[in-house]
Amino acid sequence: MSSLDDLYRRVIMDHYQKPRNRGAFDDDAVTINMNNPTCGDRIQLQLKIEDGKVSDTRFTGEGCSISMSSASMMTEAIKGRKVDDALRIADLFSRMMKGEEVEDELEQEDLGDIEALQGVCKFPARIKCATLAWKAMQQGVREQSNHEEA
């Protein structure tokens, strides 16, 4: 195992053992429940979207280290960002999970620890685990947009 792989493994375990933004809001927030029936991972993601920005986000759920770490990393990456930026990062993450070359784009973004999940694409069964929170975020943004248009 390379030292980079070891570092990535430690980052993933740190987010799993000490998740960031874990919990729930007591007041109004866009709430999305998703699960991965293949492995049993489940997440409840809450987003507060104000003035075109993700002002805050929280999650609860149960699952493997990859799904829970990814949720923790995702909430850290999108909090305080414009919705369009959050969606662009989600697209970049999705492409990374498909094994597409995104190194140059990763270097241009401040994605925090998300790069640690890059190796997941080598394990197709785990990709759904890694993308669960991201899909919930995308759905939540769509639901919020639809609600505002109505």
Residue 118 lies in a domain: yes
Give the domain extent around 108.
Answer: 3-145
Residue 150 lies in a domain: no
pLDDT band at 81 (very low <50, low <70, confident <90, very high): very high
Mapped onto helix, strand or coil, the DSSP state of residue 15 is helix
For the chain, what is the domain count? 1
What CATH number is given to the structural domain containing 50?
3.90.1010.10
Mean pLDDT within 141-148: 81
Residue 123 lies in a domain: yes
Q: How many residues does the chain have?
A: 150
pLDDT digits (tens, 9 = 90+) for 21-76: 999 999 889 999 999 988 899 999 999 999 999 999 999 999 999 999 999 999 99
**Cβ atoms within 10 Å of 100's Cβ, excluding its own:** 11
Q: Which of 80, 136, 139, 86 is nearest to 109 (CA)?
A: 86
